[in-house]
Amino acid sequence: MTAMPEPDFDGATLVRLGEGESRRIRRLASAFLATTDRTLAEIADAIGRCDLRAASGFGHQLKSSARWVGAPALGLLAERLEHLAAGADPEPSAGLLAEMRLAYERVREGIAEVVDALPADDGGAMP
Task: Assess 6 for contact with other proteins (CB under 8 A).
Answer: no
Q: Tell me whether residue 122 is exposed, middle or buried, using C-beta atoms within 10 angstroms of its C-beta: 0 to 12, 13 to 18, 19 or more.
A: exposed
The residue among 21 and 99 lying less far from other proteins, judged by its C-beta, is 21
Closer CB to other proteins, residue 91 or residue 121?
A: 121
126 part of the interface to other proteins, by CB under 8 A: no
- Asked if residue 80 binds other proteins (CB under 8 A), the reply is no
Q: What is the number of other CB atoms lying within 10 angstroms of the CB of residue 109?
A: 11
Residues 6+ apart with CB under 8 A from 72: 6, 7, 10, 66
Question: Shortest approach of other proteins to residue 1 CB, angstroms?
Answer: 25
Does 60 contact other proteins by CB under 8 A? yes
CB 85 within 8 A of CB 56: yes
Whole-angstrom distance, CA of residue 44 vs CA of residue 40:
6
Which CB atom, from 23 or from 95, has the smaller least distance to other proteins?
23
Q: Which of 10, 11, 42, 65: binder of other proteins (CB under 8 A)? A: 65
- The reply on whether position 67 binds other proteins by CB under 8 A is yes
Is 57 one of the binding residues for other proteins (CB under 8 A)?
yes
Longest dimension (CA), the chain: 51
7 near other proteins (CB under 8 A): no
